[in-house]
Structure 1
Amino acid sequence: MALESKGTVLITGCSDGGAGSALAIEFQSRGYRVFATSRTLTTMSKLESLPNVKLLQLDITNSADIRAAADAVSKETGGTLTYLVNCAAQNHFMPLLDQDIEAGKALFETNVWGHLAVTQAFAPLLIKARGTVVFITSLSGYLNVPYQGVYAASKRSAEIIAETMRLELAPFHVKVLSVVTGAIKTKGQSHFDDWKLPEASLYLPIEATIRDRARGQEGAPRMEAADYAKRVVSEIVKGKTGKFWYGAVAGLAKFMVSYLPSWVVDSAVQIRTGLDELARRSK
């Protein structure tokens, strides 16, 4: 039986302190029935007491989890879903020469194939509701940021899937939106505390610099997750499709990649990366 609300939304990647959690809180505050998901229920403590929010375990690389989540939502909503927000992602920092290929493939399983698998599973519910699919992507897919090559490739790949799906789902009255996201303040960087380079890495002289960047301590501006969520949810519920750039320096980044020569963009993204120090050492 359908629930009395403005609509329903399922959001992946809702662990405390992240963008997914902030989006769930914002949708809930606007009167939507929210299905908040994460690989582990205990990571969503900030959402568990909110009314009209149901927590679901969902590892987006696990087909059984995906089927179970789709069945649970279908039963509670009468087989419809107004919004699907693909937010779950793994961040990653590693120079490409040091990249473990299997680890890179695993990253794509989450950041690309997981989103597609979830969207396929929920497509019947979205079609019935004439709903919207949202993909949270990243500025890094446009800026060639050092040490984020594999992560950036995964996020840009997800965006290409989203943009293609926008055309393929249009005949079924389902909208697709890509949110090209700038840096926001999250609490999900602690897993980089013990981050290390391989012992033979050419980048060992600047390992501390790369680790600080992985922890989000490079000094770049970041937007509060709640502020990000307010604007993004507003655009989603207004029915926006295509690409929407938002987050810290998103507007500037869009201008740079659209109108400035690549050497200018490259110079900007290399600031505080330590590459200049490596260049001096190699002379």
Structure 2
Amino acid sequence: MSSPKSVLITGCSTGGIGHGLALIFQRKGFIVFATARDISKMSDLGALPNIHLLALDVTSKTSIQEAVKSVAALTDGRGLDILVNNSGQQYTMPMTDIVEEEARRMFDVNFWGVFAVTQAFVDMVIAVKGVIVNMASISGYWYTPYMTVYNASKAALVMFGETLRLELSPFGVRVVSVIAGAVDTNIMRNSPVPELPESSRYFAARKQIIDLAAGADNDGLKRMSVKAFAEKVVNDVLQGANGRIWRGEYSSIVRLSNVMMPTAVLPRENEILVEAPVNLEALSSFRPLLRLLIQNHVIRSYSYDAIRDEIHLVCATQRD
């Protein structure tokens, strides 16, 4: 009888994507190594069979090496079938007001942490011709104001994953970059509240920036549940996905916009608040999505009917 397959997931605190993935993989019969900096934040997982809780700080080489030793011992050196790099932080602040040390800390988690964990576990993944899964985001393709370094970290993660996919292909390893759309997680609720100095050029927009960081300005935007998102991603991975996959609310429309729609010119210097320049009430059922598209300067001159038709087309093809 063959041994059950194994998966290590970073960032498994309750309420997040990693936690949801751990539950789904466990139900699929995997041995799950659920990790977080603070084990107490995922203690409920420890009550389930075949889940091992490991303390792991992705920014600490010592912590990563300890995790490698633990996984090697618990798998009897067989290897690691799936590595999921899910740990991430958010940082919302206009570029002119960014504190460099805070931005670097975020990049250490979102990008360099993924690099370090992948480099540490890659031999174990190669040994079983396994899969590496990186949790990226539509933010890597989406020009959301006041999220400069967060967007950049996610864009870097996609390029890292896609290049790594080519490098590891000769060894039979798949690399999946999950372009995650809107998912109902705790990342925004757990993010620090931006503190704009009164001298900031964007001080007049501080409420909008704070609301953006907290996820309070989404104007009714739908978010996929963590469970539904995790189920889709796990199924994708187990069915042989390779390269980029787009999951979560609005991931499809962002994918479409990057292929088919022109990006608009940047807002004028005096447009401090990024607001929709048209009346979105005319299409109330699409108001949340249209607002997001216009805010990000994806839509410039499309008619409402054309936009509606595009949305219907994307939704019809993504009902699976």
Settle same-fold status: TM greater than 0.5.
yes
- The CA distance in 1 between the partners of 2:187 and 2:157, in whole Å, is 21
- The CA distance in 1 between the partners of 2:228 and 2:199, in whole Å, is 42
Q: Which residue of 2 aligns with 1:250?
A: 251
Q: Which residue of 2 aligns with 1:207?
A: 206
Q: Which residue of 1 aligns with 2:20?
A: 22
Q: Which residue of 2 aligns with 1:57?
A: 55
What is the SS of the residue equivalent to 1:179? Answer: strand
What is the SS of the residue equivalent to 1:226? Answer: helix
Q: Which residue of 2 aligns with 1:72?
A: 70
List runs of 5+ in structure 2 lacking aligned partners.
Answer: 277-320
Matches for 1:227-246 after TM superposition, within 5 Å: 227-246=228-247
- The CA distance in 1 between the partners of 2:95 and 2:233, in whole Å, is 32
1:114 aligns with 2:113: yes
List runs of 5+ in structure 1 lacking aligned partners.
Answer: 268-272, 278-283
Paired-residue identity, %: 39
Amino acid at match of 1:128: A
What is the SS of the residue equivalent to 2:249? Answer: coil
- The CA distance in 2 between the partners of 1:10 and 1:207, in whole Å, is 39
What is the SS of the residue equivalent to 1:48? Answer: helix
Instruction: Note if contact 2:189-2:215 (Cα within 8 Å) is conserved in structure 1.
Output: no
Matches for 1:206-225 after TM superposition, within 5 Å: 206-219=205-218, 220-225=221-226
Instruction: Note if contact 1:192-1:211 (Cα within 8 Å) is conserved in structure 2.
Output: no
How far 1:274 moved relative to its partner? 3.0
With over 3 angstroms needed to count, the CA separation of the structure-2 counterparts of 1:93 and 1:26, relative to structure 1, is same
Q: Normalised by the size of structure 2, how large is the TM-score?
A: 0.80
Per-residue Cα deviation, 1:8-39 (whole angstroms, up to 9, x for no partner)? 00000101100010011111111111000001
How far 1:76 moved relative to its partner? 1.1
1:145 aligns with 2:148: no
Which of 33, 38, 41 pairs up with 2:39?
Answer: 41
What is the SS of the residue equivalent to 1:54? Answer: strand
How far 1:193 moved relative to its partner? 6.1
Moved over 6 A (4+): none
- The CA distance in 2 between the partners of 1:193 and 1:131, in whole Å, is 36
Per-residue Cα deviation, 1:41-87 (whole angstroms, up to 9, x for no partner)? 11112312111100000000000010000110011112200000000
- The CA distance in 1 between the partners of 2:48 and 2:74, in whole Å, is 17
How far 1:244 moved relative to its partner? 0.3
How far 1:171 moved relative to its partner? 1.4
Residue range with higher mean Cα deviation, 44-53 or 81-90: 44-53
Q: How many residues align?
A: 269
- The CA distance in 2 between the partners of 1:188 and 1:243, in whole Å, is 22
Q: CA RMSD in A?
A: 1.9
How far 1:101 moved relative to its partner? 1.6
- The CA distance in 1 between the partners of 2:188 and 2:66, in whole Å, is 29
How far 1:200 moved relative to its partner? 1.3
Instruction: Note if contact 1:183-1:221 (Cα within 8 Å) is conserved in structure 2.
Output: yes
Amino acid at match of 1:10: L
How far 1:106 moved relative to its partner? 1.6
How far 1:40 moved relative to its partner? 0.7
With over 3 angstroms needed to count, the CA separation of the structure-2 counterparts of 1:194 and 1:262, relative to structure 1, is closer
- The CA distance in 2 between the partners of 1:156 and 1:195, in whole Å, is 22
What is the SS of the residue equivalent to 2:70? Answer: helix
Instruction: Note if contact 1:3-1:76 (Cα within 8 Å) is conserved in structure 2.
Output: no
Instruction: Note if contact 2:193-2:213 (Cα within 8 Å) is conserved in structure 1.
Output: no
With over 3 angstroms needed to count, the CA separation of the structure-2 counterparts of 1:193 and 1:127, relative to structure 1, is closer
With over 3 angstroms needed to count, the CA separation of the structure-2 counterparts of 1:94 and 1:84, relative to structure 1, is same
- The CA distance in 1 between the partners of 2:210 and 2:164, in whole Å, is 36
What is the SS of the residue equivalent to 1:231? Answer: helix
Larger radius of gyration: 2
Q: Higher relative CO (CA 8 A, sep ≥ 6), structure 1 or 2?
A: 1
What is the SS of the residue equivalent to 1:10? Answer: strand
How far 1:194 moved relative to its partner? 3.9
Amino acid at match of 1:71: K
Q: Normalised by the size of structure 1, how large is the TM-score?
A: 0.90
Instruction: Note if contact 2:6-2:30 (Cα within 8 Å) is conserved in structure 1.
Output: yes
- The CA distance in 2 between the partners of 1:46 and 1:274, in whole Å, is 42
